[in-house]
């Protein structure tokens, strides 16, 4: 599986448009499309790093050297990445909310 196929799969699993991914990594929608279709097979290391970070996967997973995460794992990674931008207070609120949800549903952990 080449990087374009993996990129397409990750984008689909995460429910993102070409434009959303392009905006997130600072390139054009057309460039993402070209990569997915295999027309642009040699992206820069910086772009690969940005894409891996955006999807919350390792570079090896993005280029097909490691297993591709499933949709649930991608969702958890997106949530996790979003926490980095929150204040300490807001992260505590999120943590309390998760704890309350686990208690409500009878989950432990």
Residue 84 has pLDDT above 90, yes or no: no
What CATH homologous superfamily does 3-68 map to? Answer: lambda repressor-like DNA-binding domains (1.10.260.40)
- What's the pLDDT at 88? 93
Residue-range domain boundaries for the chain: 3-68, 72-105
Residue 21 has pLDDT above 60, yes or no: yes
- What's the pLDDT at 19? 96
> Once rounded to an integer, what is the mean pLDDT over residues 60-74?
84
- What's the pLDDT at 73? 84
Minimal CA–CA distance to 96: which of 56, 86, 72, 73?
86
Distance of CA 69 to the CA centre of its chain: 10
Q: How far apart are the first and last CA of the chain?
A: 36
Answer yes or no: are the C-beta atoms of 62 and 13 closer than 8 Å: no
């Amino acid at each position: 599986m080449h990087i374009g196929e993996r990129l397409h799969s990750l984008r689909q699993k995460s429910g993102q448009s070409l434009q959303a991914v392009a905006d997130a990594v600072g390139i054009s929608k057309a460039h993402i499309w070209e990569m997915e279709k295999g027309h642009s097979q040699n992206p820069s290391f910086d772009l690969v790093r940005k894409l891996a970070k955006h999807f919350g996967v390792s570079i090896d997973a993005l280029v097909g050297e490691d297993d591709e995460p499933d949709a649930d794992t991608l969702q958890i990674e997106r949530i996790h990445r979003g926490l980095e931008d929150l204040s300490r207070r807001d992260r505590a609120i999120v943590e309390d909310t998760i704890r309350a949800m686990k208690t409500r549903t009878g989950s432990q952990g």
